[in-house]
Structure 1
Amino acid sequence: GSSSQRRLLSVTARLALSSSSKTSSSSSDEVFKAQNATASDTKPTIFSKILDGSLPADIIYKDDKCIAFRDVNPQAPVHFLVIPRKPIPMLDSATEADVALLGHLMLAAKKVAAQEKLVDGYRLVINNGKQGCQSVYHLHLHVLGGRQLGWPPG
Structure 2
Amino acid sequence: MAATSNAKPKRKMKDDDSDGLPKKKPTQYWNQGLLSSIDDPELRVDADDKVVIIRDKYPKAKFHFLAMPKVNIPNLKSLKREHLVLLKHMETKGKEIAQRFDSRRQFRFGYHAVPSMSHLHMHIISQDFDSPSLKTKKHWNSFTTEYFHDSEDIINMLEKNGRVELDTKKYQELLKNPLKCHVCLKDLPNMPNLKQHIKSHDYSSKK
Report the TM-score when normalising by structure 2: 0.49
Residue by residue, what CA displacement relative to the aligned partner does 1:53-93 show, whole Å, maximum 9, x if unpaired? 3x554211111110111111010011111111111000110
Contact 2:62 2:126 in 1 (8 A): yes
SS of the residue aligned with 1:45? helix
In the TM superposition, what are the counterparts of 1:3-152 in structure 2 within 5 Å?
A: 25-27=15-17, 33=23, 38=27, 41=28, 45-51=32-38, 53=39, 55=40, 57-128=42-113, 132=114, 134-145=115-126, 147=128, 152=144
The letter of the residue matching 1:137 is: S
Q: Which has the higher helix share?
A: 1
Unmatched segments (≥5 aa) in structure 1: 1-13, 19-24
| Larger mean Cα displacement after TM superposition, 57-66 or 105-114 | 57-66
Runs of 4+ off more than 6 Å: 148-151
* Highest RCO, 1 vs 2 (Cα 8 Å, sep ≥ 6): 1
> Counterparts of 1:125 and 1:57 in 2: how far apart (Å)?
23
Aligned length: 123
Q: CA deviation at 1:27?
A: 4.9
Identity of aligned residues (%): 25
Q: CA deviation at 1:143?
A: 1.1
Contact 1:37 1:137 in 2 (8 A): no
Question: Rg larger in 1 or in 2?
Answer: 2
Q: CA deviation at 1:37?
A: 6.3
Contact 2:110 2:122 in 1 (8 A): yes
> Counterparts of 1:44 and 1:78 in 2: how far apart (Å)?
23
